[in-house]
Structures are given as structure tokens and as C-alpha cells.
Structure 1
Amino acid sequence: MTEAHTHHHGGGRGPDHGHGHGHSTHAAHAAHAAHAAHAAHAADLPGLLDGDAQVLGAYLPAVTAWTAEHVTDVRTVLDLGAGTGVGALALADRFPAAHVVALERSPVMVERLAAAALAPALAGRLRVVPADLDEDWPDLDPADLIWASSTLHEVADPARVLRAVRDALRPGGVAVVVEMDALPRLLPDDVGTGRPGLEARCHAALAAAGWNAVPDWAPALAVAGLDVIGQRRFPVEAGPGTAGAEEYARATLRHQRRALGDALAADDLATLDHLLADHGPRAVLSGARLTVRGSRTAWLARRP
């Protein structure tokens, strides 16, 4: 649950892996590999979220400004799955009279949110509540605005969570759902060993594995009893020289490379490894040459 996401980018959280029966060596290796992949993902996530916020966070002021056009007198904001807190901070900045309540289940993220809440600029306006959205929510005051960024695709039962969102809103309050609608683009189109389009092939392979499988949330919002007001796409681009862009691009590509395993042709995998190993001034991932592109889609709905 992230501001980005969970760019884990995997699809929703699935059922826990069982341990199987018998003593199948293959099953044991598969379970070990799955556990190692999950651990690597968990270790990557805070850094990826921080990098995404630093490099591509320009979409946040645009989304919160769009939100502010549709809601007034915002006193209480509820941030579902607040992650590292970049969304909560953007909301606190956009709505200076509001208190922001951040719900987050990850102990690592809760710790980071608690540190962010101490910032003098917030003046005690950010409250961190450890909570799992798939469980019963804590008792909270009605919210004027509920924000769910890169969150709904992570929960076990999005329909249940959206009903809880409706119940937690005051009449006339709004809910905003934000999703990364495509993986960030890091490579020029002509990159590839004799075959341009390496990044497109990477993204296709990751999509086949369930990464970034984001639905249209408008029908689910309507079924939950919310009036869908609008849907907008917010593209964002960070040009050469952007602070942190190279570190973010390398971390993202390393994360993808681990997930790809041997899902691509050998020459494509070799090219990825070369790109990650090349740190020279003319490297494709050099910050002086690098352009990072991304986008978010946001849905906005009101409780009647």
C-alpha cells in the first residue's frame, strides 16, 4: 500500500502460500524462491516509493488540486494505506485546515509515518493509526475526504473496502482513488540488442505476470453507493538532471530484472544486465541523459 506503488507493481495480494504435502524438493525450492522474492520486494519497496515520490511526485499537487475543486471545508482526511506518507503530506499541504489520519498496516511504514508526523510544518496535524484495511477498521470520526493511492488493488476484498469508505465519509464527502496506470518508462525506444523495444518487451512480460493489473474503479465505486464525479489521467515527466532520477531508475530496473527471471530472451536479459552495470557518463541510465516518464489515473466519487 503505497503512494506508488506498490509499484510492486504486482497485482493484488493473493492467498498465503501453503507448504504443500509430502517432501517434494521441487515444491520446497519453489516455496523458497517465492519467499525470497517476497522478501526482496519488501526490502525494495520503501526505497522505490521514496524514489518515485522524489522523481515523479509532481502528479500529487495536480491530483490534490483537482480534488480541491470538488470538496469544501475539509477538516478530516483519511489516507488509506499511507505508505511512506507522501500522499498524506501532499494532502496536509493542500488542505491546511485539515487533520490527516493515516492508516497503514506495515510496521516499517508506520515507523516512517510517525517520523514524518513530527515535522514542524505539520503542527501535529498527522495522526498515524496502525490498521489492516482487510480487518475491521478502528472507530474514526467521519471524513470529509478519503484518499486511496495504490491501495485498492492490494486488499483482499476491494468491494468491502469501498463500502467501508462510503460509511466512513460524511454526506457530501469525496473519495479519491489513485493508481499507477503504467510502469515508469526509463529506456529510449531504440534500446535492444539488434531488436529495438526492450522496455516494451519487459513491460509485456511483467504484465503477463500480473504486474500493474489495474481495473477501472468507477463501476466498483458506484456499486459501493458513491456517485462517480470524474476520472482523469495525470502524466508526469522528469527530464535529464532531475535529482534522484538515476538512482530511482536503477532501483526500478533492478527490481524488474529480479522479477523477470528468465522470462525474456537471453539477449534481452544480457542487455538489461549491461545497462545496470554501466555507470559511465554516456550510460543510458546516466542522470545527465535520463528522462523518466510515468502517469497516474485518479477517480473521484462523492457520498450522496
Structure 2
Amino acid sequence: MTSSASHAHHHGPGHHHEHGHGQAGTGEDDALAVVLDLDAEIFAPYLDAVTRRVADLAGDGVTHVVDLGSGTGTGTFALLERFPHARVTAVDSSPALLARLLDAARAQGRGDRVRTLETDAGAGLAGIADADLVWASASLHHMDDPAAALDGVRAALRPGGLVAVAELDGMPRFLPDDAVAGRPGLEARCREALDGLHAEQMPHMGADWGAMLAAAGLLVEDDRTERLELHAPLPAGVGRYAHVVLDRIRGALDGRADPADLAALGTLLDGGPADVRHRDDLVVRSTRRLWVARRPAETVKG
């Protein structure tokens, strides 16, 4: 999923995540890229299944796909693979991430199938009016005005074209309840504090996208929720993934959570025996939801 993980709010990977608030070449872009790429690696089977479902609904003849909030290109490359005759327009507000994506596409010999559009998607998709599919993974909840953004998506779609909105319920969970002795329920409390932060800073996270898609004059054809749970033997990279995500969470909650909980979280990140990179009791849990909607042949909004 394309990921939109948060620059400013450190809300986990999939917030795949508000690409585009960092400056080109910043360390924050690099840190975000690590989160997005690890998330894509860990949940690759889910992304494969989701793009297959979208392709089934899209049918034959898909030639132009838009990846809205493209980040490091997870969605872009999955869509290039799924739709071998399509070109993809990668849309993001981070020039550094777009440059990284385009370099990767050229290295794969796919540069001629990818173009980039640096813009805030909330301002519309200038110059796009023929898209067969718009893919928006964990990006819409970052928009100041998602209703306006969806109006722009509808305008970018050809009649009969699809939009796929993929979202997740915040940070993935990794830890057993007793991960740190004397601090049972540590991850649940951190999650609650993070949810409070998100409610302040991203009021559209957790929105009813089905209703918003319908309000934009689009016909919802699919709405499915999957609760993913990965147990041992875990994919390679889970320990590092957990470390990067929990470290970003610790930074986001500095001054907002119980100092004892932040200290306990630190013991899972400091290279000691409890460090998540060395543990064998991690379980990765994440809830992900997909909506797919179609622009009618004739759309009258209202």
C-alpha cells in the first residue's frame, strides 16, 4: 500500500502516511522511506491480494493508474505489476520521495511507464482526466478537506473508472502484554495516547470513507475489513520494523504519555536483551480496510 506514514506526527507506518510534509533530502524523508518499505515487505501478501481484488473489479483495458500519495512507490510498483499495460502517475507532495520513486522505476527498466506529479492532492489532480483507477492508500485521512479531494479524484477518473481507498487503524501492534516487567499493557496505553494525538491532529483518520465516496457521487462496490495477524515464523525484517515504528511512537508521545511508560518503551529500543530486534515473542497485528467505488457513466452530484 502506498504508504503515507507521518512526517510530523510519527503515527506509524501506514500513515503511509502523510508523505510530503518534509523537505527534499531531509533525514525525515529517509526515516519515512524505511518505515514504508518495511511495511510493504512485511505485508506484501496483503497488498498482492488487494490489488488482485481491485483488478477483478476494474476489468480489462486499464491503461492509466494514479497512485495518490505514492511515498516510496510501494503501490506504484505493485500496480505496474498488476496492470502490465498501464502507465502510473505517482502523486505526492514530497519531491524527495518522488525522485526516489522515479530513480527506482528507471533502475527496474520501468521509467517509461511512470510519471510523477508533485502536488497537494487536496488541491486537485491538475491535468489528469482519463484515469482508469485512482489508488489512495493511507493518504486521504491527511487531507484538510477530504471531500474536496474526493471531488478531485472523481474529476480525474474517466466515466466507469474506479477509486480504491485503503486505510488502516493506526500503528500496528507487536508486543505481548507483559513485554516489560512491571508495566503490563504498555503497548495498549501507548496506542490509546497515540489515538488521542491523532484525533487532535488528523480528525479524518477513521472516517467513514464509504459515505464520503458516495457523497462525492461515486458508487461503492466493495467494502472489506481484514484483521492481519502474523505469528512466528515471522517474515525477515519484523524486528527492525517494530523498532522503527515504536521509536517513532516514542518520539510522538514525548511529553504526552506517562514517563514510566516512555522509559519502559525505551528498554525495547536500546539494544539490550529486551530490544524488539532480538525478541522471539512478537506478533504483528494490523487492521486494514478497503473501499472500492466507481464513477458512474453519468454522475450528478447532489
Is the pair's TM-score, using the shorter chain for normalization, greater than 0.5?
yes
Q: Which amino acid aligns with 2:225?
A: R
Partner of 1:235: 227
Q: Which amino acid aligns with 1:5?
A: A
Q: TM-score, normalised by structure 1?
A: 0.83
Instruction: Provide closer, same or farther for how the CA distance between residues 107 and 123 of structure 1 changes in structure 2, counting only shifts above 3 A.
Output: closer
Q: Which amino acid aligns with 2:245?
A: T
**Corresponding residue SS for 2:133:** strand
Structure 1 residue 163 displacement after superposition = 0.8
Q: Which amino acid aligns with 1:86?
A: T
Structure 1 residue 168 displacement after superposition = 1.2
**Corresponding residue SS for 1:261:** coil
Kindly indicate whether the alpha-carbon contact (under 8 Å) linking 1:81 and 1:149 is maintained by their aligned counterparts in 2. yes
CA shift digits 1:46-77 (9 cap, x unpaired): 22112211222332111111111211121111
Structure 1 gap segments, 5+ residues each: 17-34
Deviates more, 1:228-237 or 1:102-111: 228-237
**Corresponding residue SS for 2:269:** helix
1:209 aligns with 2:197: yes
Partner of 1:9: 11
1:1-304 equivalent positions in 2, closer than 5 A:
2-6=2-6, 8-9=10-11, 44-72=31-59, 73-120=61-108, 122=110, 124-210=112-198, 213-238=205-230, 239-280=232-273, 283-286=275-278, 288-304=280-296
CA shift digits 1:84-127 (9 cap, x unpaired): 10001111111111111111110111111111221435362122
Mapped to 1, the partners of 2:111 and 2:2 lie a distance apart of 23
Q: Which amino acid aligns with 1:274?
A: T
Kindly indicate whether the alpha-carbon contact (under 8 Å) linking 1:240 and 1:287 is maintained by their aligned counterparts in 2. no
Kindly indicate whether the alpha-carbon contact (under 8 Å) linking 1:6 and 1:150 is maintained by their aligned counterparts in 2. no
Mapped to 2, the partners of 1:106 and 1:70 lie a distance apart of 30
**Corresponding residue SS for 2:57:** coil
Give the % identical residues: 43
Q: Which amino acid aligns with 1:58?
A: P
How many residues get paired?
280
Q: CA RMSD in A?
A: 2.7
Q: Which amino acid aligns with 2:269?
A: L
Instruction: Provide closer, same or farther for how the CA distance between residues 190 and 287 of structure 1 changes in structure 2, counting only shifts above 3 A.
Output: closer
Instruction: Provide closer, same or farther for how the CA distance between residues 140 and 265 of structure 1 changes in structure 2, counting only shifts above 3 A.
Output: closer
Kindly indicate whether the alpha-carbon contact (under 8 Å) linking 1:41 and 1:255 is maintained by their aligned counterparts in 2. no
Kindly indicate whether the alpha-carbon contact (under 8 Å) linking 2:11 and 2:170 is maintained by their aligned counterparts in 1. no
Structure 2 gap segments, 5+ residues each: 297-302
Structure 1 residue 293 displacement after superposition = 2.3
Kindly indicate whether the alpha-carbon contact (under 8 Å) linking 1:262 and 1:269 is maintained by their aligned counterparts in 2. no
Considering Cα pairs closer than 8 Å and 6+ residues apart, tell me whether 1 or 2 has the greater RCO: 1
